[in-house]
Amino acid sequence: MDATPKTPRTTVARQRDRGRYDRDTINAIIDESLICHVGFTVRDQPYVIPTTHARVDDRLYIHGSVGSRMLKNMRQGVPVCVTMTLLDGLVLARSAFHHSMNYRSAMLLGVAEEVTGEDEKRLAFDALVNHVVAGRSADVRAADAQELKATSVLRLVIDEASAKVRRGPPIDADEDYALTCWAGVLPLQLLPGAPIDDPRLMLGTPVPTNVSTYRRQRAQSDID
């Protein structure tokens, strides 16, 4: 399987059995995550900002206003770290110490570059909308020239990356299995409620099926 190279910076040091380096695992986490947390440093102070993203092949796109601090800083070619985390469950052990969470996280390191070509910018825009709701870009008005100009799009080539996955029941200390308290996993999932019509929606506009039947795609084998 296609794998990202393990580097000292991405090699999972603690609980090494949780580290994953194959591209399929990393991509699945990127694609299921609705948001990422972007880290960058300005005068020794790290900042961690949540934002939306989209992946096209081995490229991660993020975007924002031309005036945003995050994008202004990142455009200068500084090293960034982009992390996505999916929370799959609470792992409730018999001892405080062995409590944990089931999760899948991906961490990408690199230097982001600004997308300047209009074709790639449009492709990224579509990908960003379709990442949130599959097929949505075909239903809505595309960005016009002014909107494209007002938006910075950054590209991070997914090269130095790793994932970390925990799944399964708690692992208690041997002697604690005799304790009488309940132990197990409480699964968690980000789930949609009923769609809320925009107050100014034209009467009788139906909710499209990609919204009414919304689910994030998940690889079941990675959750069990």
Are the CB atoms for 102 and 128 separated by under 8 Å? no
Q: Which stretch binds a copy of itself (CB under 8 A): 23-31, 54-62, 113-121, 123-131?
A: 123-131
Q: Does 208 bind a copy of itself (CB under 8 A)?
A: yes
Q: Does 56 bind a copy of itself (CB under 8 A)?
A: no
> Closest CB to a copy of itself among 2 and 224?
224
Rounded to a whole number of angstroms, the minimum distance from the CB of residue 3 to a copy of itself is 21
Using CB under 8 A as the binding rule, the residues of this chain from 178 to 207 that contact a copy of itself are 179-202, 205-207
Q: Does 61 bind a copy of itself (CB under 8 A)?
A: no
Using CB under 8 A as the binding rule, the residues of this chain from 124 to 153 that contact a copy of itself are 125-126, 128-129, 132-133, 136-137, 139-144, 147, 151
Q: Does 37 bind a copy of itself (CB under 8 A)?
A: yes
> Closest CB to a copy of itself among 3 and 179?
179
Residue from 5, 77, 79, 117 that binds a copy of itself (CB under 8 A)? 79
Helix, strand or coil, per DSSP, at residue 131:
helix
Q: Structure tokens of 19?
A: 């580290």
Helix, strand or coil, per DSSP, at residue 148:
helix
**Residue type present at position 54:** A
In order of 79, 102, 196, 213, the CA distances from 192 in angstroms are 35, 21, 11, 9
Separation of alpha carbons 4 and 106, rounded Å = 12
Separation of alpha carbons 100 and 119, rounded Å = 45
